[in-house]
């Protein structure tokens, strides 16, 4: 792992480059990692799920989605951590304007059981819904192609291939677009992510001591 586990800028450059567009493959790991990273960096966490889905599972129109996303990105001059894509709704803006892109690429066998567990907890009202006032129902979860479970299964390899293409273009140390290299892949069964988050925390603590 590189000595600078998060920022693509060097130690002598401004730490204002702490904004990140997370490109995650599923809602379970992306929400957990995104919130954890935002807390470490001390910047706002932006969930595009919550921008997209309004009460009763009403969807947000593209113009409104973009406006809400921009407002969220501008709320703190230090930066932001965003997860989700929603490229057809304007979510690509976060990807294009980010200074860093993190691709979480855990095995399907790791995160899918967690998705199932958290879905059951939401059905039992033991966990918050994906977005406020958007309850899930049994028939929607198990017998609908709009189900998060079906989404994970049907999109796992699609999203993985999409991010492979992105890595080939802007991947740190390998992207063909050298000037805009800013994407990091974190795979494995969870240890790599934990270690990386710890390294980010250690790096920021070290910089604080130097200041």
| pLDDT per position as a tens digit, 109-131 | 988 998 899 889 999 988 888 88
In this structure, the strands spanning 58-59 and 53-54 are: antiparallel
Which residues share a beta bridge with 81?
A: 20, 45
- Which pLDDT score is estimated for 68? 96
Domain locations along the chain? 20-204
pLDDT for residue 65 is more than 90: yes
pLDDT for residue 33 is more than 70: yes
- Which pLDDT score is estimated for 200? 87
In this structure, the strands spanning 53-54 and 101-104 are: unpaired
Mean pLDDT of 81-95: 86
pTM of the model: 0.82
Mean pLDDT of 61-75: 94
**pLDDT above 70 as % of the chain:** 85
- Which pLDDT score is estimated for 20? 52
Q: Is 16 helix (H, G, I), strand (E, B) or coil?
A: coil
Residue 22: which of 159, 146, 136, 157 has the closest Cα? 159
- Cα–Cα distance for residue pair 136/17, rounded to 1 Å: 38
Specify the CATH number of the domain 20-204.
3.40.50.300
- Cα–Cα distance for residue pair 161/147, rounded to 1 Å: 22
């Amino acid at each position: 792992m590189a000595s600078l586990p998060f920022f693509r800028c060097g130690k002598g450059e401004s730490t204002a480059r702490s904004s990140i567009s997370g490109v995650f493959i599923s809602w379970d790991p992306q929400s957990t990692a995104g919130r954890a990273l935002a807390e470490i960096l001390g910047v706002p966490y932006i969930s595009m799920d919550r921008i997209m889905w309004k009460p009763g599972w009403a969807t947000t129109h593209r113009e409104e989605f973009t406006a809400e996303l921009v407002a969220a990105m501008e709320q703190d001059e230090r930066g932001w951590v965003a997860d989700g894509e929603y490229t057809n709704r304007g979510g690509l803006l976060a990807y294009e304007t980010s200074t860093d892109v993190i691709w979480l690429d855990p095995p399907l066998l790791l995160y899918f059981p967690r998705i199932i567990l958290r879905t059951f907890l939401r059905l039992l009202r033991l966990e918050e819904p994906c977005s406020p006032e958007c309850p899930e129902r049994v028939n929607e979860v198990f017998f609908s192609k709009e189900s998060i479970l079906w989404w994970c299964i049907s999109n796992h390899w699609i999203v993985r291939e999409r991010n492979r293409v992105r890595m080939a273009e802007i991947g740190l140390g390998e992207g063909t677009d050298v000037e805009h290299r800013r994407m990091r892949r974190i795979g494995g069964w969870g240890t790599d992510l934990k270690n990386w988050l710890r390294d980010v925390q250690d790096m920021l603590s070290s910089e604080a001591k130097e200041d």
